[in-house]
Structure 1
Amino acid sequence: MAGVVVVGSQWGDEGKGKVTDYLAQQADLVVRYSGGNNAGHTIKFNGQKFALRLIPSGIFTTGEVVLGNGMVINPKALLEEMKYLNDAGIKTDKMHISDRAHVTLPYHIEIDELEEEMRGAASIGTTKKGIGPTYVDKYDRIGIRVGEFINEPLFKKRLEETLAFKKKQYPGLQCTAEEIFEEYKEYAKVIKPMVCDTGIFLDEAFQAKKKILFEGAQGTMLDIDYGTYPYVTSSNPGANGVPSGASIGPLYLTDVVGVIKAYTTRVGSGAFPTEIEGELGDYIRNAGNEFGTVTKRPRRIGWFDAVVVNQSRRMASLTGCSLMLLDVLSGLDTIKICTAYMLDGKEIHGLPSTIEELERVEPVYVELPGWKEDITNVTSFEELPVNAQNYIKKIEELIHCPVIMFSVGPDRTQTIVLKEVF
C-alpha cells in the first residue's frame, strides 16, 4: 500500500504536471483533491502537449482517475476537457467523480467578475473562473453538490432556491435558473455514470494494496490558511488538503513530494520578496516559458526562496523534493538563493502572517557561482557541472529536505530520478 502526494511548494506553476505524469506511470490510479479549472497542468504525451485543468494526469497512463470531494467542478468545463482528450484519442471512461464535490455554475463566474470589479485597485487577481464563490457557497452551506446535480428534480429545486438567494446578495446577476437548468441538466446526464462515493472507492483501492498518487493543484503559498493571504486560492492545495479533499485518513500517505523550481515564480498580485525585474527577469521568463497554462499571463520571476519552501516543507511534511527547470539558469554568472528575511531589523525564517509585513521584508541572499554548460542532455547528477551540483546541494541544506529528482528540460526523458517513491 502506497499513497504518494505531489504538491507544488511555491506559488504554483512549478512543473507538477511533469512530475505527476512520471509518477503516474507507476501508480494504479491518480487522485485530484482540491481546486477547480482555475489551475492547469501541461503534459507532454506521445510528442503532443496537453493542457489539463480538471482531469488528473493519470488519464494518460492507467486512465484510472478520481476527482475528489475537495474539488469544485464546472461540468461544462469538464465535458469540454473530456472532448479535447477524446478527440486526441485519449479515453476518459475510467473517471470517478465524488458525489460530494461542489458544482461551479454560471452565477459563480458572474459573481467572481463582479467582486473583482468591486475591489478595484485591491483586486486579488483571480482567474474569474468562479472558484472562490463556489467555495464560499460550500462554507455558507448553500452550495450544490454533484450528488444533487445529477438528480434532475433535486437540482432544479436547489438551483431555483440558491439563485434566488444569490440575487438578493448580488442584484446585478443576469443569469436565470431556467436557462442554467435547461443547459446543465444535459451535462448532468453525461456525468452521472461516473459519480460515486470516492471515499469508499479509495478505501477499497488501498485495502487491495494499490499504488495511489494524489495530485495537488497550484502551490502551498496559495493555501487559504498558510499562504500569502489574502492573495491565495480558496482551498488547501498542499498535502494538508488530502485527507479532507479525498476522504481518506492521513495514515494512508507514505510520501510527499514537493515540486520546486530552481527559481521562483508567481502569478497575479501579492508580495514577492525575491522578485527579479528588468532584463534578467525577462530573460528567465522567456527561457523558462513562464506564461500561464490557463490564462497565458506572464509570471513574475524571483530567485529561489528557501523561506517559502521551508514553510511548505513544514506544512506538507515533505519527504523529498523534485527540482524543476534547472536548465533555465544555465548561462548566468552568479545565482542567488534567499536564506532568510529581515523585518524591522530582525532576521526571520518564516513568512509573517500579515501581507503588510511580508511586503516590507528584505531578502537575505547567499550568492553562488553559476555554470555556462548546456545541461539539457545530462542523465545523472554526476554529469552536471560542479557549480550546478553545488547549487542543488545548497538548496538541500537550506530546505532540510533531499532533492530526489531534478529536471533539465521539458521532456519526460529529461527528468533524472535519484530516489524512487513507489
Structure 2
Amino acid sequence: MPALVLLGAQWGDEGKGKATDLLGGSVDYVVRYQGGNNAGHTVVVGDQKYALHLLPSGILSPTCVPVIGNGVVVDPSVLLSELSGLNERGVDTSKLMISGNAHIITPYNVTVDKVTERFLGKRKIGTTGRGIGPTYADKINRVGIRVQDLYDESILTQKVEAALDVKNQMLTKLYNRRAIAVEQVVEELLGYAEKLAPYVADTVLVLNQALEEDKVVLFEGGQGTLLDIDHGTYPFVTSSNPTAGGACTGSGVGPTKISRVIGILKAYTTRVGAGPFPTELFDADGEALRRIGGERGVTTGRDRRCGWFDAVIARYATRVNGLTDFFLTKLDVLTGWEQIPVCVAYEIDGKRVEELPYSQTDFHHAKPVYENLPGWSEDITKAKSFSDLPKNAQNYVKALEEMSGAPISAIGVGPGRDETIEVNSFL
C-alpha cells in the first residue's frame, strides 16, 4: 500500500485528528502537508484528551514517524511548547521530522496579521491572528524565512532585513505602529535553532525512500476543502491548499504514489470564522448541535457556527479531491432528533441548483433546499458494527453516502479512539 491522503471535506473541524490517530498505528509515517498552528485536532485516547495544533496526529502513535512537510508554516515557539507539553505527559516525540524547506512564522508576520485584520473592520476575513497568511504571502513573494535559514546567521539576517524594509514602512506609515528591529528578530529566531536541530531533515528524500521500501505514508490536511485558497469559499479561506493536490506540493511526493484519498465528513456541518454558510442555524437546533457536539475551536477557542449536513459541498469535495472514501464523524451527536434535515440542493434566484456555484455572488445568496430524514433516539456510542446502529441511523448514513458520491468506510459514534465503526478497511 503506497500513500494515503486524509483531509477535511467541509470547512474543517470534521474530526481529522481522530481519523488520523485511528490509522496511525497501521502506518509508518504521518505527514502534515499544509497550514500552521491555525488548525487544531483533538484526539481522545482512553481517558486522555490531546489538543494538537501544529504536530501531526501520528505523534501519539508509538510506531509512527510524524513529519512536518515543506508546505507547513512553523511557529517555533508554538512547536516547542507543544512538544514540551506532550513530553510532560509521557509521549515520545523524538521521532518527529521537520522539513528544512518549511517556512518560519516570524514575530513580524504575527504583528502584520493582527493589525491588517483590525484595519479591515467589517470586511475582516476572520483569521486566527497567528501570522499564517502573511507567512504564506512572504513565501510567494520570495522573502520568506525557512527552517534551514536558522543555521546560517548571515543568510537569516539578510532575509529578515529584506522583509522588514517593506514591512516597517507599512507598519509605521500606514498602521501607525512601531518599527520592528532586525537584530531583535534575528536573535529570537537563532534562539530556536539548537532546540529544533534534532528534528530537521530532508523530508522529501525520507518520504520517497520510505515509499520505495513499501512503507505506508499517510498525509494529513490541516483544514477543510472549503477553506482551500484555490477551491474554497474565497476570500474566506486559509492561505494554503488543504485539498488533495496540496499533499503532493506540500510534501514532495508525486501524485502517482497516492492510492486513496479519504475525506472526513461530520454528520452535520460547522465552520469557524467569517464567510457564507448556507445551512447555518440560528435557533435552538443550532445551539443544541454546538452544545452536544462540543463545537468550540481547538486552536481558537471560538464557538463554531453549526448547521445541518450539506450534500452539495460534500459532492464538491468528492470531485475536487478525487475522494475514494469518506470517514463520517460525530453521528452520535444527532441522536434525539425526530427529523433530521439534510441540504440536498440550493435555491438561487428561484432556481434549484444541485452543484456548488462557481460564482461567489451566487453562493452568498444560496438558500438550502432540505429533505427530512427520520431520526433515532437510541444510544449508538456502544455500536461496534453497522448492523448495531438503529435502522434510521443506518438509513441516514446510506442517504449521505448516496448524496455525497463516495462510500462511507468508517463511522464515528463517539469521541474515543475505540468508538468507531469500520465498514471497509482503509488499509
**TM norm structure 1:** 0.98
The secondary structure found in structure 1 opposite 2:67 is: strand
What aligned pairs does 1:410-421 form with structure 2 within 5 A after superposition?
410-421=415-426
**Counterpart contact for 1:243–1:250, Cα < 8 Å:** yes
Corresponding residue for residue 99 of structure 1: 100
Corresponding residue for residue 89 of structure 2: 88
Corresponding residue for residue 176 of structure 1: 181
Among candidates 165, 171, 192, match of residue 187 of structure 1: 192
In the alignment, is residue 376 of structure 1 matched against residue 381 of structure 2? yes
Corresponding residue for residue 223 of structure 2: 218
In the alignment, is residue 17 of structure 1 matched against residue 17 of structure 2? yes
The secondary structure found in structure 2 opposite 1:356 is: helix
In the alignment, is residue 77 of structure 1 matched against residue 78 of structure 2? yes
Output the amino acid matched with 1:379.
K
RMSD: 1.2
The secondary structure found in structure 1 opposite 2:162 is: helix
Q: Flag structure 2 segments of 5+ consecutive residues without an equivalent.
A: none
Structure 2: distance between partners of 1:96 and 1:153 = 25
Structure 2: distance between partners of 1:63 and 1:212 = 10
What aligned pairs does 1:320-399 form with structure 2 within 5 A after superposition?
320-399=325-404
The secondary structure found in structure 2 opposite 1:216 is: strand
The secondary structure found in structure 2 opposite 1:335 is: strand
What aligned pairs does 1:182-331 form with structure 2 within 5 A after superposition?
182-331=187-336
Output the amino acid matched with 2:352.
E
1:383 CA drift (Å): 1.0
Corresponding residue for residue 111 of structure 1: 112
1:411 CA drift (Å): 0.6
**Counterpart contact for 2:313–2:356, Cα < 8 Å:** yes
1:63 CA drift (Å): 4.4
**Counterpart contact for 2:168–2:180, Cα < 8 Å:** no
In the alignment, is residue 146 of structure 1 matched against residue 151 of structure 2? no
Structure 2: distance between partners of 1:341 and 1:83 = 47
1:173 CA drift (Å): 4.7
**Counterpart contact for 2:143–2:162, Cα < 8 Å:** no
**Counterpart contact for 1:325–1:407, Cα < 8 Å:** yes
Output the amino acid matched with 1:7.
L
1:46 CA drift (Å): 4.6
Percent identical: 47
**Counterpart contact for 1:271–1:355, Cα < 8 Å:** no
After TM superposition, the runs of 4+ consecutive aligned structure 1 residues lying more than 3 A away are none
After superposition, what is the alpha-carbon deviation per residue over 1:35-67, rounded to whole angstroms, capped at 9, x for unaligned? 000000111235211111111011111241111
Output the amino acid matched with 1:151.
D
Name which of structure 1's ranges 171-180 and 370-379 shifts more when overlaid on structure 2: 171-180
Structure 2: distance between partners of 1:366 and 1:73 = 43
Output the amino acid matched with 1:175.
I
Q: Structure 1 residues 396, 46: CA separation in 2 closer, same or farther (over 3 Å shift)?
A: closer
Name which of structure 1's ranges 145-154 and 118-127 shifts more when overlaid on structure 2: 145-154
In the alignment, is residue 29 of structure 1 matched against residue 29 of structure 2? yes
Structure 2: distance between partners of 1:304 and 1:22 = 24
1:93 CA drift (Å): 1.2
**Counterpart contact for 2:46–2:417, Cα < 8 Å:** no
**Counterpart contact for 2:25–2:64, Cα < 8 Å:** no
Output the amino acid matched with 2:230.
D
**Counterpart contact for 2:203–2:251, Cα < 8 Å:** yes
Corresponding residue for residue 161 of structure 1: 162
Corresponding residue for residue 41 of structure 1: 41
1:186 CA drift (Å): 1.4
After superposition, what is the alpha-carbon deviation per residue over 1:76-108, rounded to whole angstroms, capped at 9, x for unaligned? 111111111111111211111111111100100
After superposition, what is the alpha-carbon deviation per residue over 1:220-250, rounded to whole angstroms, capped at 9, x for unaligned? 0000011111100000112121110111100
The secondary structure found in structure 2 opposite 1:390 is: helix
**Counterpart contact for 2:46–2:416, Cα < 8 Å:** no
**TM norm structure 2:** 0.97
The secondary structure found in structure 2 opposite 1:296 is: coil
Structure 2: distance between partners of 1:124 and 1:353 = 20
After superposition, what is the alpha-carbon deviation per residue over 1:134-191, rounded to whole angstroms, capped at 9, x for unaligned? 0011111111111112322321222122222221233225432222222221111211
The secondary structure found in structure 2 opposite 1:413 is: coil
Structure 1: distance between partners of 2:92 and 2:153 = 27
**Counterpart contact for 1:285–1:299, Cα < 8 Å:** yes
